[in-house]
Structure 1
Amino acid sequence: MNGVALMSFIGTLVLILAGTTLAGHLTARCGIPAVLGQLLIGIVLGPGVLNLIHPSESITQFAEIGVILLMFMAGIESDLQQLKKYLKPALSVAVSGVILPVVVMGATSLLFGYYFQEALFIGVVFSATSVSISVVVLREFKALNGKEGATVLGAAVADDILGVLLLSLMIALVGTNSGTSSHGGTNNLLIQLVFQGLFFAGVVFLVRWIAPGIMYLSNKLLIPTGRTICAMIICLSMAYLAELVGLSGAIGAFFAGIAIGQTSAKKIVDPNIEPISNAVFVPVFFVSIGLSVSFNNFITALPFIFVMTVLAVITKWLGGELGSIWAGFDRRSGRVVGTGMIARGEMALITAQIGFNAHLLERALYVDIIFVIVIATLIAPLMLRLALKGLRNSIDK
């Protein structure tokens, strides 16, 4: 990158950071997740509206680092102890909340004329849940530590892990198919599957022994940021290895985050990495998604967007409610859990972007899915508030 190009990118970066900060502030004041403000500013500044910022290699590279850091933080914040405490209802909610979107939204996508691979991936995208949005509402009603809030958090951990495994499988299959068509043999297929199996076996070793050992040794380093640097080395190494075996780097980062999250270094690493990622790389990631949005075919795609938005809400709501009722909750508590699982947010956006980069989604379909994610996420906190008010009224009576 020459000097002129560098200064041009820095100017673009200033515009992105200023725009996302202002948009995030305004949306947060309206009770809407700040992440949606960052996404919307990308749409406004990009080719879809004002045409001030265009996709570039530098923005793409920053966005990819943003995805890796986002998934790494998601892994760190995945509380496996919470999942153990409410294991039965959490697993019941997570499994039913993953199966319903995959089956129903996948089948509906087939009816809209999409290929099986595309339809299946659409289901995988909408199997994701973003509880960061639900946590704000649960905290507002002082329900975060109740059985409903704890089940939503526990189910979200299992939900994320199931979603990442499904995403890994989809990308592995795409890599396998492309390898088969280009080389015409099964040797490459088998080798790739073996390496991917070794990768997941390595994840177990990483969580149980390697990460705790490295973080223990990092305490001996005579530099103040030693533990954070070692955590970043683990994160980037896992992202690199995941890409090397045909998976997404974001998947490797997620499991690296889970490994770090199980060590005592979590309390130091998380607050040190979060400001770096959220201040620079993550805003660029969400803006880069907005830059892909175009309104050229919006009217034509409106039936698909409307139907899929309705299904995105209903499948998670019913999946969560039925799963919690099967685990012994009453209907009002089940409704709180179900509506608490509706929000998709950053997890669905990351999954969609990974699928787009892996050629699982065409650009037009990718844009339509972004619209559905945004609308469903805006609806989610409103429905959760109504469910919590219903639960509170029933308790007061």
Structure 2
Amino acid sequence: MVEAAGIDLLGLLLVLSLALVFGALAERVGYPAMMGELFAGIAFGPPLLGLVESSPALATFAELGVFLLMVYVGMEVDLHELFALGSMALLVAVGGFLVPFGVGYGIGVLLGFDAGASLFVGLAMAATSLATKSRILADLDLLDTRIAGVLLGGALVSDVGVLVAFAGVLGYANAGTVNPVELGIVLGRALAFFAVALVVGDRFLPAVWHRVEVLRERYGFVTETTAFTVALTVALVFAELADLAGLHSIIGGFVAGTFIRQANLEPGLYDHMERVIRDLALGVFAPIFFVTVGFDLTLDVFGSALGTLAVLVGAAFVGKIVGSWLFSLPTGLTSREGLVVGLGMNGRGTVEIIIASVALSSGIIGQQLFSMLVFVAIFTTAMVPVTMTWGVGLLERAGELFDADGSAIASADGSAAWSRDEPGGG
């Protein structure tokens, strides 16, 4: 075993190599790299072959990966676009959150899980994945369609809502009590964090970024590299504020990312910061996280808990589709469009796995439930390309595929799809 400064270099090399190879293979067949990285951790880690195992250094790198990943996710959220989203995306996001969350919590209670674990089951089912949808929509050449706009907007709002709810659920679960006073304190600390974060992000940070740009223009003191250091420092400050409020550091990282996005920096500086954070998160540290998540999974769930796993997968799949479909009906989307949007919202991936991992490390759920939630994420994400392809075919055959402006798109056989303004077009 080769070590340097207490780091198992051979283990790190193997994990990164496995992540690179299997992540690339997953993307080759149309799935997120995360799917391949998880498979590598399961196949070569303790669940199967046992050729690679976790270590304190890998655990640290994995935690850093989650943190940087959430900073990057926050940088992908434009608050102005979020508030400007139309009713279609907002309603779909609400339905895609409330229904699966309620179904997940209810099933958790029926299966005998305690309140904290049941809440995390609900959160995991309510989660969705913006990155997964972007890739699938691009592969199906649907980015200019109306359902793509609704899907991406709904996924964006849903991710933000899930992470905000996650902050409250984690605080409640850590409190370990239903005492109204204790719950009030937990809620108050969470609200205080978001209030302080808003003041710091909206009032203090713009002055910091302005000073950074002044130093860069007048003295050349601040380079692209030091600007990235400032951004990382800002993220760590928000993470510490979240920790002081009894929340997880990833909430602070996510909130920091959203305010970094709003900084209105000189494009060269911002593009460099985003590129470095993205490359560090997606290229190095997040792959370590997903491979090591595979180490913690137990395949026993396919034996002793297969029935429970099947119930959770089925509930997650149906709950997300029904919720998104029901809440899409008042928006003007056709019933078939609402169904296809629900199919697309079903991909979970990164956010669900991070939520489950935090719950496991906090002792709120055990290894078996953690494994089931990760497999729910894997199975539902794996079904999205297949079900979306079927759904788009359904829209084409019915003449209900519209571009972003609501104009009909020609069907697969070249005939024009009917317009919503024509008779029978509702």
Fold equivalence (TM over 0.5):
yes
Provide Cα deviations, 1:348-367, integer angstroms capped at 9, x if missing partner. Answer: 11111111122221111111
2:374 is matched with 370
Aligned to 1:216: 210
Q: C-alpha deviations, 1:139-165, integer Å up to 9, x for none?
A: 233322332111112112211121112
Does residue 96 (structure 1) correspond to residue 91 (structure 2)? The answer is no
- The CA deviation at 1:374 is 0.8
Match of 1:324 among 324, 328, 340: 328
Q: Give the superposition deviation at 1:297.
A: 4.3
- Give the match for residue 398 of structure 2: 394
How do residues 47-62 of structure 1 correspond to structure 2 at under 5 angstroms?
A: 47-62=46-61
Q: Report the counterpart of residue 310 of structure 1 in structure 2.
A: 314
CA distance in 2, matches of 1:332, 1:79: 29
| TM-superposed deviation, 1:168 | 0.6
Question: Which stretches in structure 1 are left out of the alignment for 5+ residues?
Answer: none
One-letter amino acid of the counterpart of residue 203, structure 2: W
In the alignment, is the contact (CA less than 8 A) between 1:129 and 1:342 conserved in 2?
yes
Q: Deviations over 1:291-329 (max 9, x none)?
A: 101223431111111111111111111211222222121
Aligned equivalents of 1:87, 1:378: Cα separation in 2:
29
2:389 is paired with a residue whose SS is helix
Alignment match, 2:406:
none
User: Would the alpha carbon gap of residues 211 and 8 (structure 1) be closer, same or farther in structure 2, given more than 3 Å must change?
Assistant: closer
> C-alpha deviations, 1:110-166, integer Å up to 9, x for none?
222222321121011111110211112212333223321111121122111211121
1:291 corresponds to = 295
Call closer, same or farther: CA 1:318–1:346 in 2, change over 3 Å.
same
Q: CA RMSD in A?
A: 2.3
**Offset from partner CA, 1:229-251 (integer Å, 9 cap, x none):** 21111111111221122100001
Rg bigger for which structure? 2
Q: Which moved more, 1:110-119 or 1:374-383?
A: 110-119
User: Which residue pairs with 2:420 in the alignment?
Assistant: none
Query: Which residue does the alignment assign to 2:361?
Result: 357
Aligned-residue sequence identity (percent) comes to: 29
Counterpart in the other structure of 1:264: 264
Report the Cα distance in structure 1 between the residues aligned to 2:234 and 2:374, rounded to whole angstroms: 31
- Classify 1:72/1:303 alpha carbon distance in 2 versus 1 (closer, same or farther; 3 Å): same
Partner of 2:24: 25
Q: Is the 8 A contact 2:70 2:257 kept in 1?
A: yes
CA–CA distance in structure 1, aligned partners of residues 60 and 7 of structure 2: 15
| Alpha carbons of structure 1 residues 195 and 134: separation in structure 2 relative to 1, 3 Å | closer
Output the CA distance in 1 between the equivalents of 2:339 and 2:183.
44
Q: Residue 405 of structure 2 corresponds to which residue in structure 1?
A: none
Q: Is the CA contact (8 Å cut-off) linking 1:319 and 1:338 kept in structure 2? A: yes
Give, in whole Å, the separation in 1 of the partners of 2:174 and 2:111.
Answer: 26
CA shift in 2, pair 1:152/1:212, >3 Å: farther
Deviates more, 1:160-169 or 1:78-87: 78-87
Q: Structure 1 CA distance, aligned partners of 2:186 and 2:326?
A: 38
Q: Which moved more, 1:281-290 or 1:142-151?
A: 142-151
More displaced 10-residue stretch of structure 1: 257-266 or 276-285: 257-266
Please name the residue that 1:335 is paired with. Answer: 339
Pair 1:198 & 2:199 matched: no
- Separation in 2 of the partners of 1:380 and 1:35? 15
Alpha-carbon offset, residue 6 of structure 1: 4.1
Aligned residues: 391
CA separation of 1:252/1:373 partners in 2, compared to 1, >3 Å: closer, same or farther? same
* Rounded Cα–Cα distance in structure 2 between residues aligned with 1:158 and 1:199: 20
Question: 2: distance between equivalents of 1:64 and 1:377?
Answer: 23
Partners of 1:200 and 1:371 in 2: how far apart?
32
Q: Which has the higher helix share?
A: 1
Gaps of 5+ in 2: 400-410, 412-416, 418-426
Distance 1:81 1:339, change over 3 A: farther
Check the 8 A contact 2:104/2:118 in 1, yes or no.
yes
Indicate the larger mover: 161-170 or 81-90. 81-90
Work out the CA distance in 1 between the residues paired with 2:155 and 2:59.
28
CA–CA distance in 2 between the matches of 1:54 and 1:260?
A: 36
Q: 1:15 to 1:93 in 2, by over 3 A?
A: same
- Residues 13 and 325 from structure 1, CA distance in 2 versus in 1: closer, same or farther, beyond 3 angstroms? same
Question: For residues 90 and 197 of structure 1, what CA distance do their matches in structure 2 show?
Answer: 26
Distance 1:194 1:170 in 2: 13
Contact 1:79 1:157 (8 Å CA) reproduced = no
Range moving further from structure 2, 67-76 or 143-152: 143-152
Alignment of 1:44-83 (within 5 A): 44-83=43-82
For the residues of structure 2 that align with 1:280 and 1:179, how far apart are their CA atoms?
Answer: 41
Q: SS at the partner of 1:114?
A: coil
TM-score of the aligned structures, taking structure 2 as reference length? 0.86
Sort the Cα spacing of 1:191 and 1:302 in 2 relative to 1 into closer, same or farther, 3 A: closer
Residue matched to 1:245? 245
* Aligned 8 A contact 1:131 1:340 in 2: no
Amino acid of the structure 2 residue aligned with 1:384:
M
- 1:153 equivalenced with 2:157 (yes/no): no
| Mean CA deviation greater in 140-149 or 352-361 | 140-149
- Counterparts in 2 of 1:276 and 1:200: CA distance versus 1, 3 Å: same
Which residue does the alignment assign to 2:37? 38
Higher RCO structure, 1 or 2 (CA under 8 Å, sep 6+): 1
Distance 1:218 1:177, change over 3 A: same
Amino acid at match of 1:256: A
Check 1:124–1:241 CA distance in 2 against 1; reply closer, same or farther (3 A cut): same
Confirm or deny that 1:235 pairs with 2:235.
Answer: yes
Q: Which amino acid aligns with 2:229?
A: I
Letter in 1 for 2:272: I
SS across alignment from 1:300: coil
Instruction: Decide whether the 8 Å contact of 1:137 with 1:385 is kept in 2.
Output: no
Question: Which residue type is aligned with residue 210 of structure 2?
Answer: Y
Give the Cα–Cα distance (whole angstroms) in 2 for the partners of residues 307 and 239 of structure 1.
Answer: 36
